[in-house]
Structure 1
């Protein structure tokens, strides 16, 4: 059985980094050997839950600008899996969640920049699922719950985003985290580890500095998708905690 993961994908430069965080990603990939991956990336937004039905090699999407040329030479030629996509579609249908198909979507940087460290051979099929930041937290959780149990088949569900993501709060040359960002993550960590789902669903009202940490929810909601897909499994745990640029969180969870 494979747990679900919430992974902070960080800056696109993560793909070129050699750090404690990338070492963690490498070690995590060595721990889990899935047959396939279901990816919820913060960088694919759709109003209706959309599933990638790509057959063959997935395109590497460079959805960013102004970075070193070396970054645009990298590729991550993983394969899609229409068979798994069809299973996800049926899961969503049975749970009353409307979905659509996409036959061309590749892997945006919310996916491939960290997968290069986890699974450098790009030999694991991947199906991407879009996010909608405008749904309620409970609706976000329900999307994850529709996929509960895939880990028992060695299918890895990953929510890719970050807990603290506010471009207006970046401190580029600051090597230590802002206290308010740590306090927000500490609150989120406590609720996840202790499975206080009712509090987590009300994070906007209850968590300290919530509006500052999450000015827009697209990077936060993959946490609910990952959590829901493993809800009821072993006790969740925080498996990495770190920060970049003073506020960008790299906290990751195994659920």
Structure 2
């Protein structure tokens, strides 16, 4: 019988994470070594960097290209490849599961992995030995809809599919800087609030985080990078173990907190 796989929320931070591991890289590598012992049939990645209009999409190609969807970074970043294999069969399985719940899903056999997907995978699964499918976020989506969406993904965890939701604990690019001695003043209050809500599995509070979380607007001027955390929380159960991997703060404004929901 297939054991229930955990759900991950990963903060992918700046694209520079690919070449500057900092505190987060080793944490993800260690986590990946534990995950590698599990019976994982495929990985389903949801990234803040693939947003589609109205309907979620799934990658369905046999081989997924590495998308370097950023500009102005060192050349070495653009030379990194994560040659993930896809799985049209698993994409069809996920599509069937979601459509059984009334969610219309499209397939894209040309789409590859954006940096919100391949950079975490580079640390978690460096051997590139597990098929990957990426699932887009259908826009518009608010916190309530993210909860509903995450709940629809729960059954996949019992079918050998590891869910990785990739976003950011904080994501205000206006406050990004290069002084490691400073950090945005709103980060710690916001992160502490999120930690308490996540560990209590309080979906109602998370649904209303814009009103309830201190400095929510400063931490997330837009919802896109926070929705993956809400989706991951909703895809977990209230009584499951919650493990926090705290990766510090990079570029003054990016809190690098990660969560694992469930046993691993």
> What TM-score comes out, normalization by structure 2 length?
0.91
The answer to whether the 8 Å contact 2:200/2:238 transfers is: no
Q: Residues 154-212 of structure 1: CA distance to partner in whole angstroms, max 9, x if unpaired?
A: 32101100021011111222334323111111101100101111111100111000111
| 1:191 and 2:185 correspond | no
CA RMSD of aligned residues (A): 1.5
Matches within 5 A, 1:64-75: 64-75=70-81
| Paired position in structure 2 for 1:137 | 143
| Paired position in structure 1 for 2:152 | 146
| Residues 127/233 of structure 1: CA separation in 2 closer, same or farther (3 Å cut) | farther
Give the CA deviation at 1:241.
Answer: 4.1
The answer to whether the 8 Å contact 2:94/2:156 transfers is: no
| 1:128 and 2:134 correspond | yes
| Paired position in structure 2 for 1:38 | 44
- Higher deviation after alignment, 208-217 or 131-140: 131-140
Report how many aligned residue pairs link the two structures: 254
- Which residue of 8, 13, 18 maps to 2:16? 13
Matches within 5 A, 1:1-255: 1-33=4-36, 34-47=40-53, 48-55=55-62, 57-132=63-138, 134-232=140-238, 234-255=240-261
Structure 2 counterpart SS, 1:46: strand
| Residues 175/31 of structure 1: CA separation in 2 closer, same or farther (3 Å cut) | farther
Unmatched tracts of structure 2, length 5 or more: none
Q: Residues 41-84 of structure 1: CA distance to partner in whole angstroms, max 9, x if unpaired?
A: 011010211111112x2100010111111111110001011111
Unmatched tracts of structure 1, length 5 or more: none
> What TM-score comes out, normalization by structure 1 length?
0.94
Give the CA deviation at 1:30.
Answer: 0.5
Give the CA deviation at 1:224.
Answer: 1.9
